[in-house]
Copies of this chain bind each other. A is one copy, B any other.
Amino acid sequence: MTTPVNTKEVRELIAQFFNTQMPFHNFIGLDVISYEKDTIELQIKMKPELVGNIVHGILHGGVTATMLDVAGGMMVFAQVLENMELVTHDTVMARLQNLGTIDLRIDYLRPGRGNVFTATATVIRAGNKVAVARMELHNENGDHIAFGTGTYMVG
């Protein structure tokens, strides 16, 4: 499968893959809502299994970390796609295999109260080998729950 494809189609396939084939994403209910060249939205609906503190009923910090890590990784990969000379199923798969988080920082700003949590990301350093993204988590009221910064291997 070496037929060139456009990056929009590739992103749609990747989003579909992340929504249906990643066991841990399905387990916690992580959905890719939108995945464009420069923006991404991941969403999770609160459910009892994701609670980290039964007194306060808030989202576990590990779910926050998961969402921000995935949002950053997918966002830097969108930038990799735009810079690839030849975008085929095979070349994309080869690059996707190389994608990995090197390090991740999460800044927890306030308790994870809410019903729907949305993670977004922006690339702050685009590179052929290493890329860095900044991520944010908000609830449905726009409350800013957490910031993230992730350094990813992309090549």
User: Which residues in A have some Cβ–Cβ distance to B below 8 Å?
Assistant: 21-24, 26-28, 48-55, 60-63, 65-67, 69-70, 97, 100-111, 124-125, 129-130, 132, 134, 144, 147, 149, 151, 153, 155
Minimum CB–CB distance from A154 to chain B (whole Å) comes to 10
Q: Does B104 contact A105, Cβ atoms closer than 8 Å?
A: yes
Contact among B48, B55, B63, B124 with A147 in the assembled complex (CB-CB below 8 Å): B124
Copies in the complex: 4
Q: Does B62 contact A70, Cβ atoms closer than 8 Å?
A: yes
Q: Does B60 contact A66, Cβ atoms closer than 8 Å?
A: yes
Q: Does A109 contact B130, Cβ atoms closer than 8 Å?
A: no
Given A23-B51, A55-B97, answer yes or no on A129-B153 (Cβ-Cβ < 8 Å).
Answer: yes
